[in-house]
Structure 1
C-alpha cells in the first residue's frame, strides 16, 4: 500500500516537472508585453492542476481505505475461542443484513440495520453451515486473507 502511494506521488511529481519545463519554451514565443498576463495564467493553471491532482490522490486513499475496511469486515476471525460466533450472513439491501449467530448452543437469527439489531428468531434445531457457505472457499479469498493477516501483524500499533 505504501509502495503504491509512493509510486503515485513520484509519477505526479515527474508529470509536474515536465509541465514546468515545457511551459517556459511556449512563453518565450509570446510577445514581451503580454508575458506578465501569460505568466499569471500559467501559474493559475498549474495551481488548478496541483489542486486537482491532490484531490484525486486523497480520493484514491479514501477509496482504498473503504475497500480494506469492507474486506476486513467480511473475513471471519480464525483461531478465536469466543462464546459468540457468526455462522452466516445474508445481505438484504445496501445496509440491511440477516445474521445467523451461535451463542453457546443456541442459534439466533438477527436482523441488522444501520440503527438497530433485532433478534428475529431463536432456532430450536441448529442449522448446519456447510463449507460451501464459507466466504473463504476460493483460493483467491484465502490468499487475500492471509496477506491481510500478515500485513496487519507487520505494521506497528
Structure 2
C-alpha cells in the first residue's frame, strides 16, 4: 500500500514537473534568427571584433614593445656556413657589422665604417609601377 502511494506521488509530481518544463521552455523562445534585428546585431558584433583586431595590429606596428626590434637595425645579408652557423651583415645606423651567429651565441666578427653592401631598395614590380602611374595621373588630373 505504501509503495502504491509513493508510485502515484512520483507519477503525479513528474507529470506536473513536465508541464512546468514545457511552459518554461516556451516562455524563453528566442526571436527568429533570420530577422533584420538578428542579422544587424550579428554584423555589428562582427564589425566590432574585426575593428578591434585591426586597431591592435596598427598599435603593435606603431609601438615597438618587443626588445631588439628597431627601425634603424636591418639585416642586409646572411650566409649559411653550416647547419647552425651563419654570417650576418647588419646595418646599425650608419655602420655595418658582420656577426657570426651560432647555436646559443653571437660574435662580432668585424665592424665597417663604410657600407660593404648598399641596402637594396625594394624591387619595383609591374603592379607597383602601374599603381604609381595611375596615382601620378590621378594627382595631375586633380591639380587641373
TM range (shorter): 0.3 to 0.5
TM-score, normalised via structure 2 length: 0.34
- Per the normalisation by structure 1, the TM-score is 0.31
Structure whose residues are more often helix by fraction: 1
